[in-house]
Amino acid sequence: MIYRSMYGLPAWSVYRPYRDLDRMRREMDRLFDAFSGQGEGRVSAGVYPLVNLTEDQENFYLRAELPGMKAEDLDIQVTANSLSLSGERKIAQEGNGVKYHRREREGGRFSRVVTLPGDINAEKVDADLVNGVLTVKIAKAEAAKPKQITVRH
Protein backbone atom coordinates (compact mmCIF):
# COMPACT_ATOMS: atom_id res chain seq x y z
CA MET A 1 0.00 0.00 0.00
CA ILE A 2 2.73 2.48 0.93
CA TYR A 3 4.84 1.37 -2.04
CA ARG A 4 1.89 1.85 -4.36
CA SER A 5 1.07 5.35 -3.10
CA MET A 6 4.72 6.45 -3.07
CA TYR A 7 5.44 5.41 -6.64
CA GLY A 8 2.03 6.19 -8.15
CA LEU A 9 1.32 2.62 -9.19
CA PRO A 10 -2.27 1.85 -10.14
CA ALA A 11 -4.61 0.07 -7.77
CA TRP A 12 -5.47 -3.61 -8.14
CA SER A 13 -7.92 -2.95 -10.99
CA VAL A 14 -6.84 -1.88 -14.46
CA TYR A 15 -7.53 1.79 -15.17
CA ARG A 16 -10.01 2.27 -18.01
CA PRO A 17 -10.16 5.94 -19.03
CA TYR A 18 -13.49 5.60 -20.90
CA ARG A 19 -15.34 3.62 -18.21
CA ASP A 20 -17.25 6.69 -17.02
CA LEU A 21 -18.24 7.63 -20.58
CA ASP A 22 -19.52 4.09 -21.22
CA ARG A 23 -21.57 4.21 -18.03
CA MET A 24 -22.95 7.64 -18.93
CA ARG A 25 -23.92 6.44 -22.43
CA ARG A 26 -25.80 3.46 -20.98
CA GLU A 27 -27.64 5.73 -18.55
CA MET A 28 -28.58 8.16 -21.36
CA ASP A 29 -29.88 5.23 -23.47
CA ARG A 30 -31.96 4.07 -20.52
CA LEU A 31 -33.38 7.58 -19.98
CA PHE A 32 -34.25 8.04 -23.67
CA ASP A 33 -35.98 4.66 -23.67
CA ALA A 34 -37.99 5.63 -20.59
CA PHE A 35 -39.09 8.97 -22.08
CA SER A 36 -40.01 7.44 -25.44
CA GLY A 37 -42.23 4.81 -23.82
CA GLN A 38 -39.89 1.94 -24.62
CA GLY A 39 -39.32 0.75 -21.08
CA GLU A 40 -37.60 -2.31 -19.74
CA GLY A 41 -40.38 -4.67 -20.88
CA ARG A 42 -39.80 -4.26 -24.60
CA VAL A 43 -38.35 -6.96 -26.81
CA SER A 44 -35.00 -5.76 -28.05
CA ALA A 45 -32.24 -7.15 -30.14
CA GLY A 46 -29.64 -4.66 -28.94
CA VAL A 47 -27.73 -2.80 -31.65
CA TYR A 48 -28.76 -5.39 -34.21
CA PRO A 49 -28.02 -5.27 -37.14
CA LEU A 50 -24.43 -4.15 -37.47
CA VAL A 51 -23.87 -1.97 -40.53
CA ASN A 52 -21.04 -0.55 -42.64
CA LEU A 53 -21.57 2.56 -44.75
CA THR A 54 -19.15 3.33 -47.59
CA GLU A 55 -19.20 5.47 -50.71
CA ASP A 56 -17.55 6.01 -54.05
CA GLN A 57 -18.07 8.87 -56.52
CA GLU A 58 -21.45 7.60 -57.72
CA ASN A 59 -23.06 5.67 -54.82
CA PHE A 60 -23.37 5.02 -51.11
CA TYR A 61 -23.24 1.37 -50.02
CA LEU A 62 -24.84 0.11 -46.82
CA ARG A 63 -24.01 -3.45 -45.78
CA ALA A 64 -25.81 -5.04 -42.83
CA GLU A 65 -25.33 -8.39 -41.12
CA LEU A 66 -28.69 -10.19 -41.09
CA PRO A 67 -28.01 -13.91 -40.60
CA GLY A 68 -31.06 -16.11 -40.95
CA MET A 69 -33.29 -13.28 -42.26
CA LYS A 70 -35.49 -13.49 -45.33
CA ALA A 71 -35.98 -10.59 -47.74
CA GLU A 72 -39.73 -10.50 -47.08
CA ASP A 73 -39.08 -9.87 -43.36
CA LEU A 74 -37.24 -6.59 -44.10
CA ASP A 75 -38.56 -3.05 -44.60
CA ILE A 76 -36.16 -0.58 -46.25
CA GLN A 77 -37.11 3.07 -46.81
CA VAL A 78 -35.06 6.03 -48.03
CA THR A 79 -35.51 9.79 -47.78
CA ALA A 80 -33.40 12.72 -49.01
CA ASN A 81 -30.41 11.78 -46.83
CA SER A 82 -31.29 8.78 -44.66
CA LEU A 83 -32.06 5.08 -44.87
CA SER A 84 -34.38 3.24 -42.50
CA LEU A 85 -33.96 -0.51 -42.04
CA SER A 86 -36.41 -2.45 -39.91
CA GLY A 87 -37.70 -5.97 -39.56
CA GLU A 88 -38.10 -8.88 -37.23
CA ARG A 89 -35.58 -11.58 -36.57
CA LYS A 90 -37.24 -14.85 -35.64
CA ILE A 91 -35.33 -17.37 -33.56
CA ALA A 92 -36.85 -20.84 -33.15
CA GLN A 93 -37.85 -21.63 -29.57
CA GLU A 94 -36.01 -24.51 -27.92
CA GLY A 95 -39.14 -25.84 -26.19
CA ASN A 96 -40.50 -25.95 -22.66
CA GLY A 97 -38.25 -26.88 -19.77
CA VAL A 98 -35.05 -26.06 -21.65
CA LYS A 99 -32.23 -24.64 -19.53
CA TYR A 100 -29.93 -22.23 -21.35
CA HIS A 101 -26.24 -22.29 -20.48
CA ARG A 102 -25.45 -19.45 -22.87
CA ARG A 103 -27.92 -17.24 -24.73
CA GLU A 104 -26.32 -14.72 -27.07
CA ARG A 105 -28.60 -14.93 -30.12
CA GLU A 106 -31.61 -12.70 -29.68
CA GLY A 107 -34.70 -12.35 -31.76
CA GLY A 108 -37.30 -9.64 -32.03
CA ARG A 109 -38.06 -6.42 -33.84
CA PHE A 110 -35.27 -4.06 -34.80
CA SER A 111 -35.00 -0.70 -36.47
CA ARG A 112 -32.01 1.33 -37.60
CA VAL A 113 -31.96 4.76 -39.21
CA VAL A 114 -28.67 5.66 -40.88
CA THR A 115 -28.04 9.26 -41.88
CA LEU A 116 -26.19 9.44 -45.18
CA PRO A 117 -23.44 12.03 -45.66
CA GLY A 118 -25.16 13.53 -48.74
CA ASP A 119 -28.40 13.71 -50.70
CA ILE A 120 -29.48 10.67 -52.70
CA ASN A 121 -31.54 9.78 -55.75
CA ALA A 122 -34.38 7.79 -54.16
CA GLU A 123 -35.34 6.38 -57.59
CA LYS A 124 -32.02 4.51 -57.88
CA VAL A 125 -31.79 2.24 -54.84
CA ASP A 126 -31.06 -1.49 -55.13
CA ALA A 127 -31.01 -4.05 -52.31
CA ASP A 128 -29.69 -7.64 -52.31
CA LEU A 129 -29.65 -10.17 -49.49
CA VAL A 130 -26.98 -12.84 -50.06
CA ASN A 131 -25.65 -15.25 -47.43
CA GLY A 132 -27.03 -13.17 -44.56
CA VAL A 133 -25.49 -9.88 -45.74
CA LEU A 134 -27.82 -7.15 -46.99
CA THR A 135 -26.20 -4.79 -49.52
CA VAL A 136 -28.07 -1.59 -50.38
CA LYS A 137 -26.66 0.46 -53.26
CA ILE A 138 -27.90 4.06 -53.11
CA ALA A 139 -27.20 6.43 -55.98
CA LYS A 140 -26.06 9.92 -55.02
CA ALA A 141 -28.09 12.92 -56.16
CA GLU A 142 -26.48 14.78 -59.05
CA ALA A 143 -25.87 17.80 -56.81
CA ALA A 144 -24.00 15.60 -54.29
CA LYS A 145 -21.60 14.07 -56.83
CA PRO A 146 -18.14 15.61 -57.05
CA LYS A 147 -17.56 17.70 -60.18
CA GLN A 148 -14.22 17.90 -61.95
CA ILE A 149 -13.24 21.54 -62.52
CA THR A 150 -10.91 22.35 -65.37
CA VAL A 151 -8.45 25.15 -64.65
CA ARG A 152 -7.82 27.45 -67.62
CA HIS A 153 -4.48 29.05 -68.13
Is the pTM here over 0.85, yes or no?
A: no
CATH architecture observed for domain 2-91+108-144: Sandwich (2.60)
Residues ≥6 apart with Cβ < 8 Å to 82 = 113, 114, 115, 116
| Domain ranges for the chain | 2-91+108-144
Average confidence (pLDDT) per 10 residues, the chain, 153 residues: 53 62 80 64 57 94 92 91 90 81 81 90 94 95 78 87
Cα distance between residue 65 and residue 68, in whole Å: 10
